[in-house]
Amino acid sequence: MKINDVILRTVTKAVVFIILTLGVYLFFAGHHAPGGGFIGGLVLASGIVLLYLAYDIETVHKGMPFDFKKMAALGVLLATGTAIGSLFFDVPFLTQAHTYIEVPIFGKMGFSTVTIFEAGVALTVVGVVVTIILSISEDE
């Protein structure tokens, strides 16, 4: 049975960019406003899942040729890596550093190693969610 999903596809084309942008925004907003690695990752993942729902796996895979298992592993590596990294500076495990730097155009901006940690969280969430959904749906 072939479902006529023209409406879904058309809407998805527009909406996916909004969702993905929101995901990225939420990820960066996390430090001072609602958002963060986990939510950002989830929103990104839901955007990708929407793509999979609207189109078939091959089409999406052509557009995003990532191995999501590796992405999840990379995320864990980043998260644990920043944790272990703190040991090299002779501070307790998982200590995070942050600083403020004047950046042209954007003005004063905060930089923190938490961002790397959160990026790890986000990558893991995206990787794992998509991996689970793909492995269940591909299983014929």
Pick the binder of other proteins from 55, 60, 75, 85 (CB under 8 A): 75
- Residue 109's DSSP bridge partners are 101
Closest distance to other proteins from the beta carbon of 118 (Å): 6
- What are the CA-CA distances from residue 87 to residues 54, 74, 82, 95, 119 (Å)? 46, 20, 9, 8, 20
Position 33 contacts other proteins (CB under 8 A): yes
Nearby residues of 86 by Cβ (< 8 Å), 6 or more positions away: 92, 93, 94, 95, 96
137 binds other proteins (CB under 8 A): yes
Instruction: Dig out the tokens for 20 from the structure.
Output: 């993905």
Binding residues (CB under 8 A) for other proteins: these are: 26, 30-39, 42-43, 45-46, 49, 53, 69, 72-73, 75-76, 79-80, 83, 93-94, 96, 98, 110, 112, 114, 117-118, 120-121, 124-125, 127-129, 131-133, 135-139
